[in-house]
Structure 1
Amino acid sequence: MAEAQLFVSHDEFTCSVCLDTLTDPVAIPCGHNFCLKCLTDCWDQSQVCSCPQCRHTFMLSPSLKRNNLLNEVIKKLKKTTLSPPPPQNYAGSGDMECDICTGEKFRAVKSCLTCPASYCQTHLQPHYEGDALKHHKLVDPDRNLKEKLCEKHQKSLEIFCKTDDSCICMMCGVTEHKNHEMVELETEREEKQVSDV
């Protein structure tokens, strides 16, 4: 079974006192999280116990206990997501370049058939995080993106017209090929691979 991917921002696990990743995280009644040491230091220097973030004041000092679940999540994320991204390589001869980088370009790690463009690791992130882009079709870096676009509509070729024996886009499917026999491009590819065997 495929694992679901969760994309989180480093800011979601940052203490607003020390501005670093939470260490021994504690949650206080207003719902904000802080490092245990940061919060106790803050309250030791003040006459009142108030949230350093929203300034909510507590009549009695809340009991502070480490949030074990949040602590484990942060440990796991430090090993993966929150660790610095792998060093980016500048595109060398034979490498696909990122279409977004300016100046010296990084090596592309994915191409988007919907955009159509190729992206380095940094510029690819919005495709994982943004709702508008996360449904785009990403493939390994591809020099021939233009060949995978309909010349007329500049849309991705996703349909195979069996009647005309050609790859077409969705717009062509509802206009010029309206009553033709059509299948998804992947379906046709699989059928041809099976018949070639």
Structure 2
Amino acid sequence: MAATNPAKTLQDETSCPICLEYFKDLMVLDCDHNFCRACITQCWEGSQTLSCPQCRQTCPEKNLRPNRQLRNIVEAARGLRLQSAREAETEGLCEKHREPLKLFCKDDQIPICVVCDRSKEH
């Protein structure tokens, strides 16, 4: 079994499966799947039958409930990400790849790592 990255797992679990961003105005359906209120509302817009975009279970009505516990975890994950980015900057490491910033992108005018350079992002 491959080793899992706890930071990646946390990010996945605190992200909306529709917009792939951290949850905003987090809502849970009867099937226990979570979505941003705006994402699920837009997904259901104009639909005759309301169903969960993940498991396709039919929802009898727009029964959205806030998920306060997961909302608190999302806020903590956001804080960890910001802290990690600040630490990477002070350590001279790429925020995305955690590699030393050895190169400089002339177009973007920022230091980059070798992985960024090879990925053609810069």
What fraction of aligned residue pairs are identical, expressed as a percent? 31
Alpha-carbon distance, 1:49 to partner: 0.7
Give the corresponding residue for 1:47.
Answer: 48
3-state SS of paired residue (1:74): helix
1:58-77 → structure 2 map (5 Å cutoff):
58=59, 60-77=60-77
Give the corresponding residue for 2:35.
Answer: 34
The normalised TM-score by structure 1 is 0.38
- Deviation string 1:9-65 (CA, Å, 9 cap, x unpaired) is 31111111111111111111222110011111211231111111121222x114212
**Can you give the 5+ residue segments of structure 2 that lack an aligned partner in the other structure?**
1-5, 102-122
Bigger proportion of residues as helix: 2
1:171-182 → structure 2 map (5 Å cutoff):
none
3-state SS of paired residue (1:9): helix
Q: Is the 8 A contact 1:24 1:67 kept in 2?
A: no
Task: Find the aligned partners of 1:54 and 1:31 in 2 and give their Cα distance.
Answer: 10
Matched residue count:
87
Task: Find the aligned partners of 1:25 and 1:12 in 2 and give their Cα distance.
Answer: 12
3-state SS of paired residue (1:61): coil
The normalised TM-score by structure 2 is 0.59
**Can you give the 5+ residue segments of structure 1 that lack an aligned partner in the other structure?**
1-5, 91-100, 108-197
3-state SS of paired residue (2:22): coil
Larger Rg: 1
